[in-house]
Amino acid sequence: MKIRRILLAVVLALAGLAGFAAPSAATAAHTVTYNKYSLMLDGRRILVQAAEFHYFRLPSPDLWRDILQKEKAAGFNAISVYFSWAFHSPAPGQYDFTGVRDVDRLLRMAEETGLWVIARPGPYINAETSGGGFPAWLKTVPGRARSSDAGYTAAYHDWLAHINPIIARHQVTRGGSVLLYNVENEYAVNTDAVYMQDLQDTARAGGIDVPITTNDCCDAGSWSSTWGSGPGAVQIPGVDDYPQSFECQNASTTWGPWGAGVTERVRDDAPVFAAEYQAGSIDLNNAGYEACRDLTGVQYTKFFQKGNMVLSGATGFNYYMGFGGTNWGWIGQPNDVYTSYDYGAAIDESRQLTDKYFEFKRQGYFLQAVPPLTKTDPSTAPVAAGLETAARTNPDTGTQFVLVRNGSTEAVSSTLAWNGYSLPVTLPGHDAKVLVGGFDLGGQRLVASTSELLTTAFINRDVAVFYGAEGTPGTTVLRYSNAPTVKVLSGTVSSSYSNGNLRLDYTHSGLARVLISGGGHRPMLLLLGTDDTAGSFWRADTAGGPVLVRGTSLLRSASVSHGSIALQADTSAPGAVEVFGNGRDLTVNGRPISTRTSPSGSLEGNLPGPRAISLPALDGWKQAAEAPEAQPRFDDSRWTVAGKTSSLSTFQPLTQPVLFSDEYGYHAGSVWYRGRFTATGSETTVSLNAITGKRGDYLVWLNGRYLGSAAGGVQADSDVPANPSPGAGKFTIPAGLLPAGKPAVLSVLVQNMGNNDDWTAEDSRFRQPRGLVGAAVDGVPAISWKIQGRARVDPVRGGLNNGGLFGERAGWSLPGYRDGSWPSATFAVPAGVTWLRDDFTVDLPRGQDTSVTLRFGDAIPQGYRTIIYLNGWMLGQYGAAIGPQTSFVLPAGVLRQNGRNTLALAVIAEQPATVTPPQLAVAGSQRGGVPVRDVAS
């Protein structure tokens, strides 16, 4: 054990030689300090490059590792994680940290992957989650939320008492990977310093000893000592920037409407920290997430992020989101998002790498290659006519970082006057570069370059990869004590030597290779690429030295020992692979690969691609209609009596009693109401009112007769005048339906689409009711009500998976349900609730990562909504009223990849309809992947 620990420590120390090593299977305890420039780990400056990841949006823990490895492979050294209170607590005092909620496992995985963690346990998290992460039961707890009021305080103390110990034992100070602890979230509209201070005191009392930060809203710093040195100030102020805003439908014309995206320096005793920097967008206007990816595409990622690097001097970055994931179950906040939380992120919802991922990789590798960036001051920038320039310099090493940006949409060619040179530069429209000069690059001295540095490594000799936009000029100047020998191995590069400087001129194209030897330095291989060729490099740092790889679609990890290089890598097609590393033999995913040595000193070989996939047709559908609750004689004796007369919501019930579903412990999904009264026979109209959140509806029956449906109310914002009648529906009672003097039963099925968030820290918004808010039948003095929602908390899927449809209560969504007596589907459904079930078997190639989706027709039908369950896991909602989504990710693990699966669809129809069933489709398949076990179902 002890030897193992020492070995790991050696590995860690070796890894530490290359750039900013994040933890790797961390064991040793570290200290974290900071000053104006950066955080420091054991006194060594670090730069934090984090990607936001929400474990609760990926219900297959083995796939967490896939995402973490992909983030790591893009040069991220950290993840930022919200911990969702609602996700862990279905009821007051009940907490679950098992299975898909096992955050201890998540933090272990982060350690194993070598990623630091910025832990963000709220209690309020926003994040387009229902209630902003507040459990819905909090709506019934007295005391203003996000304040120091007693009731709220007791509630969040219980949450923190559960989550803080888990976070605390994974801190870097205890050998783990949690580096920062973030309290609250954009707590800027209504502020209570006693509350902010208590969150920090509670964390400290709970063993949190890493620096505490908070993310402030909207380019502005607060909760810092300069803003108010009183209670509530955090150690490291973080600032959120979303320069592109969220109008994905205007992607092609939008450029920075929310500002320059330069993270503000809030105070001088802490580093600048971009706590959330926009890296995607919510799809506010149903444009689809590809439009959001365009809004925040490669040009945006270059222009704004590189600008921020130099203009802000930030040494902590967190990109929101790195991977968005899925609002499965009822975790989403319906006003801003539908099922998919793809976010237009660099890694898409089906876990595929997009173009933007490769831009993140270029930037991430660069940041790791230039330690002097952790301590810089603004300096005089070289000038290039027609282009924006700015510079920072490290006061100790003199290393310069020069931003060159083109704010126009057309390419600009200019000359950069820098360090005594006139260097031609061309930038495509909306492009940006961060150039480095005065830098010790391995055993070399870089004077200046108009190519950007991707990475540098010592692999038998110095290897450096530089790049620039295809077809643009590049110049690199290196210092030598006498003329070196320059050998161009491939490409066109001219060189000249004078006064100790070697100048190389070239046009960025493909991948040029130049071997430089002599000149008083150790030899160097210079690789001069384009955005694409540079972006194709993968790097892993091993105990046996760094490894550079080209030709795989991903490099997950590498090891080098006794002359053998072993890669864990994915391929999306068969093809050539090239590996630079300290070895003569190569294995990929355990398979020996035959190789030859190239003139560049690398190993070259060929790798197989993925095997073909065949998916079964979904053609065995069975069908059953339900909604017995609509029938007058239905037995509701076990249902909850709805008889309350008041609630804590500022929204006053329109009629008595209070029918808000949360008051009766029903917090998610569908909820049924049955109201009884004695008819006079002369009633004409049922008047109802329901609040569902955006995208919801409700359906109404009287004495078993379907009366129709209405859209549920929204009332998303407290800043619009309150709508006294948000979700009104009037239903005519057919003549003769209500015999005089006879009991009548009114049945109503209401969707609860999720709760509003509490972004502005106003109770009115988050406590807004869900369910019926008013119910009357003309001439009827009183209706007595019963209510039924979810039957129980699903022990593996949790409290947000199910609502209270009859089929959900009776297990129709579950894989084990016996549907043998159900007839084959006709797909003709009446108004009301109809279920479709299909069992299917898949047998996907092993050792291959296949992402499967459920595809519906592109023309989204009106008039009904479909709730999708795979093996009992509620994975989405499809319908015209819900959003533009037609394709739903079926995460591996929830999808049994080699076995039998059950799909169940609950169709809630506002009128009779014919349903077009979905089919399975492949979103991507790569040889490789991580082992994925079936998630308990």
Instruction: Tell me: does residue 218 bind ligand IPT (CB under 6 A).
Output: yes
Among 39, 217, 548, 659, which residue sits at the site for ligand IPT (rule: CB under 6 A)? 217
**Selected range binding ligand IPT among 122-130, 447-455, 711-719, 840-848, rule: CB under 6 A:** 122-130
Q: Taking the complex as a whole, how short is the minimal distance between the CB of residue 128 and ligand IPT, in angstroms? A: 5
Q: Considering the complex, state which of residue 242 and residue 366 has its C-beta at the smaller distance from ligand IPT.
A: 242
Give the C-alpha distances (Å, rounded to integers) separating 173 from 39, 202, 209, 250, 271. 14, 18, 7, 46, 20
- Cβ-closest position to ligand IPT: 126
- Pick the piece of the chain touching ligand IPT (CB under 6 A) from 20-28, 36-44, 215-223, 806-814: 215-223
Residue 567: partners with Cβ closer than 8 Å, 6 or more residues away: 540, 547, 549, 552, 555, 557, 558, 579, 586, 587, 588, 589
Q: Residue 804 in 3-state DSSP?
A: coil
Q: Is residue 570 at the binding interface for ligand IPT, with CB under 6 A as the rule?
A: no
Active-site residue among 276, 349, 359, 626?
A: 276
SS (H, E, C) 335-377: CCCCCECCCCCCECCCCCECHHHHHHHHHHHHHHHCHHHHCCE
CB nearer ligand IPT, residue 128 or residue 763: 128
**Smallest distance from the beta carbon of 185 to ligand IPT, in angstroms?**
5
Query: How many other β-carbons are positioned within 10 Å of the β-carbon of residue 576?
Result: 10
Considering the complex, state which of residue 186 and residue 342 has its C-beta at the smaller distance from ligand IPT.
Answer: 186
Rounded to 5 degrees, φ, ψ at 639 are -70, 165
Residue 126 is a binding residue for ligand IPT (CB under 6 A): yes
525 binds ligand IPT (CB under 6 A): no
Q: Give the interface segment with ligand IPT, choosing from 40-48, 123-131, 782-790, 839-847 (CB under 6 A).
A: 123-131
808 in catalytic set: no
The b/e string for 673-691 (b: 16+ C-beta within 10 A; e otherwise) is: bbbebebbeebeebbbbbb
Q: Which is nearer to ligand IPT, 218 or 722 (CB)?
A: 218
Question: In 3D, which of 890, 899, 894 has the Cα closest to residue 923?
Answer: 890
Identify which of residues 127 and 233 has a Cβ nearer to ligand IPT in the complex.
127
Distances (CA, A) of 214 to 196, 266, 761: 10, 12, 16
Looking only at the bridges linking them, the beta strands covering 452-458 and 44-46 are unpaired
Query: Which of 71, 240, 462, 758 is the binder for ligand IPT (CB under 6 A)?
Result: 240
Token pair listed for 94: 């009940």
- 3-state helix/strand/coil string of 433-476: EEEEECEEECCEEEEEECCEEEEEEECCCEEEEEEECCCCEEEE
Enumerate residues 333-372 that contact ligand IPT by CB under 6 A: none
Q: Which of these segments, 214-222, 653-661, 680-688, 785-793, binds ligand IPT (CB under 6 A)? A: 214-222
Our finding on whether 185 is near ligand IPT (CB under 6 A) is yes
Report the residue number, 418 or 759, with the smaller CB distance to ligand IPT.
759
DSSP-derived secondary structure for 119-143: EE--S---TTBGGGG--GGGGGS-S
Q: Looking at residue 744, what DSSP letter applies?
A: E
Comparing CA positions, the residue from 253, 251, 271 lying closest to residue 263 is 271
Shortest separation between residue 719's beta carbon and ligand IPT, angstroms? 15
* 71 versus 283: smaller Cβ distance to ligand IPT: 283
Nearer to ligand IPT, 240 or 794 (CB): 240
> Shortest gap between Cβ of 321 and ligand IPT (angstroms)?
8
Q: For residues 323 and 81, what is the distance between their CA atoms, to the nearest angstrom?
A: 11
Tell me how far apart the alpha carbons of residues 669 and 770 are, in angstroms, rounded to a whole number. Answer: 10
- Closest contact distance (angstroms) between CB of 132 and ligand IPT is 8
Residues 866 and 907: beta-carbon distance below 8 Å: yes
- How is residue 392 written in tokens? 């920072």
Q: Which one of the listed residues 128, 186, 452, 626 is annotated catalytic?
A: 186
Quote the least distance from Cβ 336 to ligand IPT, whole Å. Answer: 7
Least Å from the CB of residue 84 to ligand IPT: 11
3-state secondary structure 698-729: EEEEECCEEEEEEECECCCCCCCCCCCCCCEE
Instruction: Give the residue, chosen from 100, 107, 110, 127, that forms a contact with ligand IPT under the rule CB under 6 A.
Output: 127
Rounded to whole angstroms, how far apart are CA atoms 203 and 122?
Answer: 11
Element holding 773 (H helix, E strand): strand 771-777
Which segment (93-101, 124-132, 570-578, 671-679) binds ligand IPT by CB under 6 A?
Answer: 124-132
Stretch that binds ligand IPT, among 121-129, 175-183, 526-534, 762-770 (CB under 6 A): 121-129
The minimum distance between CB 240 and ligand IPT, in angstroms, equals 5
516 binds ligand IPT (CB under 6 A): no
Select from 89-97, 120-128, 266-274, 834-842 the region that touches ligand IPT (CB under 6 A).
120-128
Neighbour-count burial of 549, counting CB atoms closer than 10 A to its CB (0-12 exposed, 13-18 middle, 19+ buried): buried
Nearer to ligand IPT, 336 or 626 (CB): 336
Q: Does residue number 128 form part of the binding site for ligand IPT (CB under 6 A)?
A: yes
Considering only 242, 418, 537, 639, the residue that binds ligand IPT (CB under 6 A) is 242
The number of residues that bind ligand IPT (CB under 6 A) is 12
Is the bond preceding 321 in cis, omega lying within 30 degrees of 0?
Answer: yes
Between 242 and 365, CB nearer to ligand IPT: 242
The answer to whether 474 and 466 are in contact (CB under 8 A) is yes
CA–CA dist 175, 8 (Å, integer): 12
Spatial distance between the Cα atoms of 47 and 558, rounded to a whole number of angstroms: 23
Q: Which is nearer to ligand IPT, 272 or 453 (CB)?
A: 272
Look up residue 838 and give its amino acid: D
In the bound complex, what is the minimum distance in angstroms from residue 713's beta carbon to ligand IPT?
A: 23
Which one, 23 or 243, has the nearer CB to ligand IPT?
Answer: 243
Q: b/e for 302-330, b at 16 or more Cβ within 10 A?
A: bbbbbbbbbbbbbbbbbbbbbbbbbbbbb
Contact range with ligand IPT by CB under 6 A, out of 125-133, 508-516, 763-771, 834-842: 125-133
Q: How far is the CB of 324 from ligand IPT (least distance, A)?
A: 9
Of 22, 81, 21, nearest in space to 51 by CA: 81
**Has 629 been annotated as catalytic?**
no
State which H helix or E strand residue 312 sits in. Answer: helix 298-312
Q: Does 79 bind ligand IPT (CB under 6 A)?
A: no
Binding piece for ligand IPT, criterion CB under 6 A, among 35-43, 126-134, 537-545, 587-595: 126-134
Q: How far is the CB of 283 from ligand IPT (least distance, A)?
A: 10
- Closest C-alpha among 246, 346, 329 to residue 56: 329
Q: How far is the CB of 671 from ligand IPT (least distance, A)?
A: 27
Tell me, residue by residue from 253 to 282, as one string, x for binding to ligand IPT by CB under 6 A and - for no binding.
-----------------------x-----x
- Cβ at position 398, least distance to ligand IPT in Å: 38
Task: Give ∠ CA 538-543-548 in degrees, rounded to 5.
Answer: 20
- Restricting to residues 825-854, which ones interact with ligand IPT according to CB under 6 A? none
151 token code pair:
């009731």
> Does residue 50 interact with ligand IPT by CB under 6 A?
no
Query: Smaller CB distance to ligand IPT: residue 232 or 238?
Result: 238
Question: Which positions are catalytic?
Answer: 186, 276
Give me the residues that bind ligand IPT (CB under 6 A), please. 126-128, 185-186, 215, 217-218, 240, 242, 276, 282
